[in-house]
């Protein structure tokens, strides 16, 4: 019997199989079962054999991957300058061959080395803000992204690409949309968020096309209008390759946990599509209103806290009282249907509903309703319950924003001492007030 190789070693093995002897090259992972040899193959898949079926093992190197300190890359200074702002996420991750887990650890230079075609599109400057999974990102990190974008524009970049984990990519894109365009202005260049659903060292990765398309849009996209395009997302348009969707950052949402076309626009349309072919990259026409002026971005107050609850059979008044008593600045409840909450008790057998209505009436902080249905408007005029909610002070009527855009809008408005009457307004493409179908 051969000896089990060390985890992380690159090996060549010969093993028995029902179809005859086979040969594999790969990196040793922790065994999938006791006394099993498991390899990560070059195509991204794993293969396992009982060690007693392995005929021979030849070590051919250590851990795979791009060197952590690649040589300085020569660039074409005549190309438009684009800054890649690196926050982490799957697009900036690879397999840890000692554990088999996907971890965030790519450096900006590694990202360039892994997709050298980028250097034919733009003159790249890489900035590292962190190596974070997106679920760890907080408002303080939005402010760091805002500063990094403004610094990039001030240094001559025509656009920025923010590499970001996909789970909250749309939240950060919405936040930066309000920061740069919520006040009626626009950023000095294009802001593009991109990520990937599959890590960069998997055969099925979407990272390469997403990153190429994002850099292309940052370098060559149309001038920013500030109406939905202050910050955009660029991700796969379908499950296949070849087309990436440019979506308004203030109106897009991750709608699937694993699909490559997970990002879909809520209550609106894509801005454009980018086609990737052997002849290069191109985008579909875009019609825009370009009347806004450029201005300095606004910021988010990290001290502001917003409590979020879901309307349904387990929404109780004590949650609202707790938010009021714990220093929260506002409450957002994801309402059912047109934005309804469980606040009526017609049969007299649901005292919880009476308590919830009382808690809303007594709330010292704003209570806002978001759309649990995702698509469609919050319309509190259709049913008597909705009108009752307005009478007791519930805000949100008329909003067609995604829940995430509403969340960042409330945070932005409170951060900048704005009255929440702005929730009924369309500041930068987040609220299509005419939508009623």
pLDDT less than 70: residues of the chain: 42-45, 61-72, 90, 92-114, 199-204, 289, 433-437
pLDDT at residue 68, rounded to an integer: 35
In our burial notation (b when 16+ CB lie closer than 10 A, e otherwise), range 70-88 reads eeeeeeeeeebbbbbbbbb
pTM exceeding the 0.75 threshold for the entire prediction: yes
pLDDT at residue 69, rounded to an integer: 38
Two tokens at 233? Answer: 């997302």
Out of 40, 81, 186, 254, pick the active-site residue: 254
CA distances 137 to 83, 131, 141, 260, 318, Å, are: 20, 11, 6, 22, 28
Side-chain-facing half-sphere of 428: CA atoms under 13 Å: 32
pLDDT digits (tens, 9 = 90+) for 228-259: 999 999 999 998 899 999 999 999 999 999 89
Does 419 qualify as catalytic in the annotation? no
Using DSSP's 3-state secondary structure scheme, residue 131 falls into coil
Out of 38, 87, 167, 400, pick the active-site residue: 167
- In DSSP notation, 377-416 reads ---TTSSHHHHHHHHTT-B-TT----HHHHHHHHHHHHHT
Does 90 qualify as catalytic in the annotation? yes
Out of 38, 87, 90, 205, pick the active-site residue: 90
- Rounded Cα gap, residues 140 and 175, in angstroms: 11
Does 98 qualify as catalytic in the annotation? no
pLDDT at residue 65, rounded to an integer: 37
pLDDT at residue 100, rounded to an integer: 55
Compute CA 104 distance to the chain's CA centroid, rounded to the nearest angstrom. 15
- Rounded Cα gap, residues 372 and 338, in angstroms: 8
Out of 166, 233, 400, 408, pick the active-site residue: 166
Please, what sign has the CA dihedral across residues 362, 430, 179, 403?
positive
Alpha-carbon torsion angle 142, 310, 318, 390, nearest 10: 90
Q: Which domains does the chain have, with CATH numbers?
A: 10-61 (2.30.30.520), 81-283 (3.40.50.1170), 306-424 (3.40.50.40)
pLDDT at residue 89, rounded to an integer: 73
Does 166 qualify as catalytic in the annotation? yes
Strand partners for 333: 309, 369
pLDDT at residue 311, rounded to an integer: 98
> Which of these, 127, 132, 126, 128, lies nearest to 103 by C-alpha position?
132
Q: Which residues contact 349 (CB under 8 A, 6 or more apart)?
A: none
- Rounded Cα gap, residues 201 and 37, in angstroms: 21
pLDDT at residue 290, rounded to an integer: 73
273, 244 in Cβ contact below 8 A?
Answer: yes
- Rounded Cα gap, residues 212 and 433, in angstroms: 34
Apex 415 CA angle, 214 and 342, nearest 5: 95
Place of tokens 């059912």: 336
Side-chain-facing half-sphere of 165: CA atoms under 13 Å: 21
């Amino acid at each position: 019997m051969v000896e089990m190789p060390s985890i992380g070693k690159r090996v060549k093995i010969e093993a028995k199989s029902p179809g005859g002897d086979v040969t594999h090259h790969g990196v040793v992972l922790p065994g999938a079962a006791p006394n099993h040899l498991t390899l990560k193959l070059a195509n991204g898949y794993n293969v396992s054999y009982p060690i007693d079926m392995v005929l021979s093992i030849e070590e051919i190197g250590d851990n795979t991957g791009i060197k952590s300190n690649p040589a300085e890359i020569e660039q074409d200074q005549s190309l438009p300058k684009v800054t890649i702002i690196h926050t982490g996420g799957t697009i900036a991750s690879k397999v840890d061959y000692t554990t088999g887990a996907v971890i965030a650890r790519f450096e900006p230079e590694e990202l360039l080395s892994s997709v050298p075609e980028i250097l034919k599109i733009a003159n790249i400057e890489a900035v590292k803000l962190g190596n974070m999974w997106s679920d760890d990102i907080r408002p303080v990190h939005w402010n760091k992204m805002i500063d990094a974008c403004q610094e990039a524009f001030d240094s001559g970049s025509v656009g920025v690409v923010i590499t970001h984990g996909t789970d909250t990519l749309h939240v950060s894109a919405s936040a930066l949309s309000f920061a740069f365009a919520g006040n009626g202005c626009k950023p000095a260049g294009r802001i593009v968020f991109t990520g990937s659903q599959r890590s960069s060292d998997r055969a099925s990765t979407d990272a390469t096309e997403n990153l190429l398309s994002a850099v292309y849009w940052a370098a060559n996209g149309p001038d920013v209008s500030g109406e939905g395009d202050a910050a955009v997302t660029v991700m796969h348009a379908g499950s296949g390759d070849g087309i990436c969707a440019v979506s308004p950052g203030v109106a897009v949402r991750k709608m699937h946990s694993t699909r490559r076309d997970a990002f879909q626009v809520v209550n609106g349309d894509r801005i454009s599509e980018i086609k990737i072919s052997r002849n290069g990259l191109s985008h579909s026409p875009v019609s825009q209103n370009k009347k806004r002026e450029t201005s300095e971005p606004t910021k988010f107050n990290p001290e502001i806290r917003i409590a979020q609850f879901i309307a349904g059979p387990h929404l109780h008044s004590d949650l609202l009282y707790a938010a009021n008593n714990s220093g929260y600045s506002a409450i957002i409840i994801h309402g059912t249907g047109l934005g309804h909450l469980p606040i009526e008790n017609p049969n007299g057998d649901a005292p919880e509903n009476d308590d919830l209505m009382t808690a809303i009436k007594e709330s010292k902080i704003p209570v806002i309703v978001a759309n649990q249905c995702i698509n469609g408007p919050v319309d509190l005029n259709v049913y008597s319950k909705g009108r009752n909610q307005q009478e007791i002070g519930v805000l949100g009527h008329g909003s067609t924003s995604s829940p995430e855009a509403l969340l960042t809008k409330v945070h932005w408005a409170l951060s900048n001492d704005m009255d929440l009457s702005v929730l009924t307004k369309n500041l930068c493409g987040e609220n299509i007030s005419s939508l009623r179908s």
